Amino acid sequence: MVEAILDVRGVSKRFAFNGESVTALTDANLRIEKGEFVCLIGPSGCGKSTLLRMVAGFESVSDGELLMWTKPVTGPGPDRGMVFQDYGLFPWLTVRKNIGFGPVARGRPAKEVRATEERFVEMVGLTRFADAFPHQLSGGMKQRVAIARVLANDAEVVLMDEPFGALDAMTRERLQAELLEIWAKQKLTVLFVTHAIEEAIVLADRVVVMSPGPGRIVADERIDLPRPRDPTSPEFNAMRRHLGGLLAGHH
């Protein structure tokens, strides 16, 4: 068996809330191999963000084990980068400096930082805006900066929590295509949360379906359609119906 880059084994998460214990996620099992693009879908409150935050190392697990390359995740690290819906950029830094922030914080030499900034500014198509500040950018451009920032940190795993949810449909489609290009080129492993079935089918190698009350994984479906995927094709539609059924509780 190929070694998993991420191995979630029997993971549960409970939060103390108003003196009571809330189970956000129960007995999650998920193995992800290097280079896979995995989407998590499910309604609000089913534990998608909680699972992502545990992989990021922002939250500890209550039960079970969460391993990256067979070692327990004990906290955040540059090897796992998170991209949020609200971008999370530093408003006082330019595009270039946002992208170079991680390498600077890790004490990389100035010359190397400069080269990294240039490389990733170019990769996300923002060369003309390298010296702009976040407030001067559109939502799609801000999200490109957020992605570039994670890549500049040498992240092997990119964690994305509904990253395109705030964007208009055209921008979202363009960013989906760009993300797939970068994913393939950089051999990234992506764990991508969405509540949109269509987005999951456009992007993923596997779609993991989650359900609330308490949050859990109910299905793990492989999407074996060639890319770029055509949302109007019969195969795409069949998968849309199948995942819709799983979300509606037919599993």
Ligand X SMILES: Nc1ncnc2c1ncn2[C@@H]1O[C@H](COP(=O)(O)OP(=O)(O)O)[C@@H](O)[C@H]1O
Which partner from the list ligand X, Mg ion, none does 194 bind, CB cut-off 5 to 8 Å by kind? none
Query: Smaller CB distance to ligand X: residue 84 or 133?
Result: 84
Q: Can you give the three-state secondary structure of 165-204, one letter per residue?
A: CCCCHHHHHHHHHHHHHHHHHHCCEEEEEECCHHHHHHHC
Q: Pattern of binders to Mg ion over 44-63, x per CB under 5 A?
A: -----x--------------
60 belongs to the binding site for ligand X (CB under 6 A): no
CA–CA separation, 59 vs 183, rounded Å?
26
- The single-letter DSSP state of residue 128 is G
**Taking the mean position of all CA atoms in its chain, how far away is CA 181?**
15
Which residues have a Cβ under 8 Å from the Cβ of 240 and sit 6 or more positions away? 197, 198, 201
Closest contact distance (angstroms) between CB of 195 and ligand X is: 8
Q: Which of 39, 46, 151, 207 contacts ligand X by CB under 6 A? A: 46
What single letter denotes the amino acid at residue 135? H
Contact residue for ligand X among 26, 28, 47, 100 (CB under 6 A): 47
Q: One symbol per residue from 3 to 42: x for binding ligand X (CB under 6 A), - otherwise; what is it?
A: ------------x-x----x-x-----------------x
Residues found near ligand X in the complex (CB under 6 A): 15, 17, 22, 24, 42, 44-50, 215
